[in-house]
Every structure is written in C-alpha cells, then in structure tokens.
Amino acid sequence: MPKLPDSQAWRWTVIGVVAAVVVVVVGALTGHIRRADDVDCTRVKCVALTFDDGPGPFTDRLLQILKDNDAKATFFLIGNKVAANPDGAKRIVDAGMEVANHTWEHANMTTIPPELIPSQLSKANDAIKSATGVTPTLYRPAGGLSNDAVRHAAKQLGMAEILWDVIPFDWINDSDLAATTYMLKTQIRPGSVVLFHDTYSSTVDVVYQFIPVLKANGYHLVTVSQLLGPREPGSSYGGRENGPPANDIRDIPPADIPTLPNTPSPKPMPNFPITDIPGQNSGGPQ
C-alpha cells in the first residue's frame, strides 16, 4: 500500500492554495488587482486623448510617440478609411490603443435620412472588426452631431456615444501650435476626454511636445474605456464645447520639451473620402 502524504503538510498546502485563490478573486472583484498597464483613475489623475478621422498618413508617427511614452489613447476611425487601409487600422490595435467608430463616411448623422443611420455605424464596425479583430462599442458621430435617433440606433447595436470635454481646435490651429497648446493647458483637468485629429501632422507635433507636460503634471494617459469604464448602450458622454478654464496644468522647463523634427508640417489632410450622400458633409473635420 503506497504511503499517504503526510497529513499535516497536505492540509497546509490546501489551506495555502485556497487562501491564494481567495486573495486573487477578492482582489479582482474589488478592483485592487489590476493589469500592469492599467491605472485606477479614481486615485490618480487621468486624461483620455482621442484622435478622430483616421487612420491617416500621420497615424504611425503618433503611435510611436504614444508607445515611447507608455501612453494609451482612443482612435475614432472612419469606416471607409479603414476599409481602404486595414493595415493602418491594425497597427493602432497592435500598438495597444483602443479603436472606436466614427461612422462609415463622416456624414452628418442628424440630417441624413434616418434609415441610413444604422448602417453608418454598423458598416464602420464591420470594417474595423475585419481589419483589427476588434468590434467597437464606442462611437463618436461626425462633428459630435447627434440626436435621439442616432442614440437609439446605437443602442440597438450595443454602442455608446462619446463626445468630449476639451476641444483644442487643432484643425483650425494647424499652423499655430501655441494656440492649440494654450487650449490644452487651460482646459484639461483630471478626467478630461480631449478631441484631436491625427489627420494633421501639426497635431502629432503638439502631442509630442505636450505629453511631457501632462506627465510632469502627474497625468496618466489612458483610453476612454480605461477612464470611463463600461458605458451603457444608447448613452452619451460629454459635449461639443469647452467648459470654463481649469488651469490645472503648470508649465515645465522649456528644456524638458522635446524639439520637433526639422520637417515642415505638410498641408492638413482632408477627410477623404468624405460622405457621398448629397448635401450631408458634416462641414468640418470634427
């Protein structure tokens, strides 16, 4: 007859394993154990940078900057651009970023025929899923223009709307980085969702030089989902305007801000291809 394990040792092993399992399960359920790349935005300052209208020719440079800074961000992608450039969309996910839906063709969702609203969302999701393997649950309508019909269609698709808290007008300030930076400096506060467009090389420049400012001010750069957590389908977050200045950001020594590569900023990229639904261009790059 084989010798049974020493009963005392066996008992303590079981107790140890059970205790470890309890610690992990309770920790996970209460949020005390998190992935290494996760942060608790209820305890530290977080900001969610978001980039609309891509993927575009400057997206890869932006991804490298974000990766170099251990920063996360959320990209609201235009469906037909993803369909035309699936590898570009895939690289966003491969870089650890969140992808979300910015409609199929950047139409004004509040004025297109209502029967076209669901397909603007579903076609973009299909393209993003096909390119990246990820099905977005967040969307941002072109121009932030939305209404009950849009949110109802989104709810049917299990999607939540994300607008923004800070709009630095990066497309208007394409040749004036200081103006965009001023808006960021005065408007960002803990928990802000910030609207950018990675269709502008100048926006990438701004982000390159402003990330060190954010980090020196104690901000963690996270995705929208990391910042806000799960969103109720059909709900809407944020608005279309800046609020009163927060003035939460202090300057850092100029020497701590990286100099830009000595390359002229190319002309801003148009939203291309823009909607071909007659008269339904949203009227701007938002």
Catalytic residues: 52, 197
Contacts of Zn ion in 108-147 (CB under 5 A): 142
Residue 157: CB atoms within 10 Å: 17
User: What minimum distance in Å lies between the beta carbon of 110 and Zn ion?
Assistant: 14
Please identify, using beta-carbon distances, which residue of 53 and 105 lies nearer to Zn ion. 53
Helix (H, G, I), strand (E, B) or coil at 32: coil
Please identify, using beta-carbon distances, which residue of 52 and 205 lies nearer to Zn ion. 52
Contacts of Zn ion in 31-70 (CB under 5 A): 52-53
Helix 201-216 and helix 177-187: axis angle, to 10°? 40
Please identify, using beta-carbon distances, which residue of 187 and 199 lies nearer to Zn ion. 199
Is residue 38 within 8 Å of residue 213, measured between CB atoms? no
State the alpha helices, DSSP H only, in the chain: 7-30, 59-68, 79-84, 86-94, 117-132, 148-156, 177-187, 201-216, 224-228
Tokens of 85: 């450039």
Sign of the dihedral through C-alpha 29, 34, 35, 40: positive
Please identify, using beta-carbon distances, which residue of 55 and 185 lies nearer to Zn ion. 55
User: What minimum distance in Å lies between the beta carbon of 50 and Zn ion?
Assistant: 10
Please identify, using beta-carbon distances, which residue of 142 and 193 lies nearer to Zn ion. 142
Provide, for the chain, the percentages of residues in helix, strand and coil under a 3-state DSSP scheme, each rounded to the nearest 5.
Answer: 40, 15, 45
Alpha-carbon span 116 to 30, nearest angstrom: 42
170 part of the interface to Zn ion, by CB under 5 A: no
User: What minimum distance in Å lies between the beta carbon of 199 and Zn ion?
Assistant: 8
Cis before 245 (ω within 30): no
Judged by CB under 5 A, how many residues of this single chain contact Zn ion? 3
User: What minimum distance in Å lies between the beta carbon of 103 and Zn ion?
Assistant: 8
Alpha-carbon span 168 to 101, nearest angstrom: 21
Contacts of Zn ion in 216-245 (CB under 5 A): none
User: What minimum distance in Å lies between the beta carbon of 198 and Zn ion?
Assistant: 11
Where along the sequence are the contacts to Zn ion (CB under 5 A)? 52-53, 142
